Amino acid sequence: MKRQLINLFQVCVLLGIFFPVIIFAGPTLTLTTDKKNACYELGEKIGWHAEVHGDGAAGIKTARYVLKEGGGKIIGQGEVTFQAGAGNFQTTLNEPGTILAEISATNGSHHLIHALAGAAVASAQIGISSPCPDDFDAFWTGKLKELAAVPENPVLKKENSGRNGVDYWKITLDNIRGTHIQGQLARPTSGKKFPAMLVVQSAGVYPLDKAWATGPAASGWLVLNILAHDLPIDEPKAFYDDLTQHALTNYTAIGSDDREKSYFLRMFLACSRAVDYLSERPDWNGQTLIVTGTSQGGLQSFVAAGLNPKVTALLALVPAGCDNTGGLVGRKPGWPYWIANGAGRDPQKLLETARYFDGVNFAARIKCPALIGFGLIDTTATPSGILAAANQIHAPKELVMMPDSDHLGHDNTQAPFTARAAVWRAALLAGEPAPVK
């Protein structure tokens, strides 16, 4: 009988006959705050509202919740009872910070279901977790001098852009200590002068997609898109997979206890050199030079603008690498998890080195307008760290807080930043000031 059923199914597929399939999704949990924007004042009551939905929801009577200040220190926990599928609990926070609320329950099949929600309290007052090193500026000034002693030696190889009206090149620039910057350059075929855009990359080891440069170029930008690593930009996938699994498995921990050997040293200096290169090109309009990136790219955007005053605006989505020392004040440090990734090394050396590569300290040196987007349930680029960094920026800035967004923006939860970034790019492309709200 089993063989006959399989054969019947195969015949139906071949004949194009299909039957509806009913899927029982099971229960789900949702968690929200009583304020849509999730923003509160010091000591203000924060109301959390939990609901259970879907098949089997009636069988779930309670759920456990945990409240974590800065995503780290537990400041409350308990049980919420559902009545008609809903339950509530409250908390307060008497100091500036963020709260990550986690709620979980088991359904009748003993499957765990959970939800996250976030809140921000006196967000404009959230401070950094440790002071900037006294010699931070001296250190980076010295590194920029080391870089300046190395000629740029740009090598461009023109290739087909794949887009009408767009010119495209692969490009290599020299960096410190025999390393290189590898990337792609694109610009409109017609015209002489263009606003410039530096695009920096998220974490991971992967090739560059040509569209990341040619897309903005088709809109009128002179675009330089650089890889975070000194690697060819368009090798087969297997090439990058091998590096991910072996030599660069945990590249963020390379040299993490020595500021002269940190993997981020070359990466950060590459950002400043890329800005210099764009500013020296005869087809730059001499007015607008923006830097943009997501996650690790957001961190590099802070670095580029903090190190190089030629940057005229930055657009950073979920910038990582902010508040590396957050654990000192009970906050959860975000990626690259500087201290945790250095297990087995001297903790004091890790802490000292981390501060020279922390986004909060570059943010304090940013002089251009900044657009920064972040999610309150992001556990990779933590909102407490991003807010601590943003509060160090004294230039015009606009923060896009997305209460329901995680790091990857599932369910289109990063749409508010995407919309504002489009408005910013349009204004800057037209030569207008940054439209800071």
pLDDT tens-place string over residues 362-413: 999 999 999 999 999 999 999 999 999 999 999 999 999 999 999 999 999 9
Question: Could you tell me the sign of the dihedral formed by the alpha carbons of 209, 211, 214, 220, in that order?
Answer: negative
Q: 51-60, 279-288, 315-324 — which is least confidently predicted? A: 51-60
* Confidence grade of residue 58 (pLDDT, cut at 50, 70, 90): confident
pLDDT value of residue 109: 67
* Confidence grade of residue 304 (pLDDT, cut at 50, 70, 90): very high
From CA 396, how far away is CA 426, in angstroms rounded?
A: 18
pLDDT in tens, 111-139: 789 999 999 999 999 999 999 999 999 99
Residue 161, pLDDT > 90, answer yes
pLDDT value of residue 25: 61
Element at 238 (helix H, strand E): helix 237-245
Mean pLDDT, the chain, as a whole number?
94
Mean pLDDT on 217-238: 98
pLDDT-above-90 percentage for the chain = 90
pLDDT value of residue 5: 36
Residue located via tokens 């930009």: 233
From CA 8, how far away is CA 226, in angstroms rounded?
A: 54
Cis peptide before 319 (omega within 30 of 0): no
From CA 15, how far away is CA 225, in angstroms rounded?
A: 49
Residue 168, pLDDT > 50, answer yes
- Catalogue the long-range contacts made by 160-169 (C-beta closer than 8 Å, 24 or more residues apart): 161/186, 161/210, 161/214, 161/217, 162/210, 162/214, 163/214, 163/217, 163/218, 165/189, 165/190, 165/218, 166/214, 166/217, 166/218, 167/217, 168/210, 168/213, 168/214, 168/217
Residue 159, pLDDT > 70, answer yes
Cβ(308)–Cβ(273) below 8 Å: no
pLDDT value of residue 175: 98
Residue 10, pLDDT > 80, answer no
Residue 4, pLDDT > 80, answer no
From CA 166, how far away is CA 244, in angstroms rounded?
A: 32
* Confidence grade of residue 52 (pLDDT, cut at 50, 70, 90): very high
Element at 53 (helix H, strand E): strand 46-53
Structure pTM? 0.93
What the chain holds in terms of domains, given with CATH numbers, is 28-125 (2.60.40.1930), 136-429 (3.40.50.1820)
Burial of 380 (0-12, 13-18, 19+ CB in 10 A): middle
pLDDT in tens, 172-204: 999 999 999 999 999 999 999 999 999 999 999
Residue 229, pLDDT > 70, answer yes
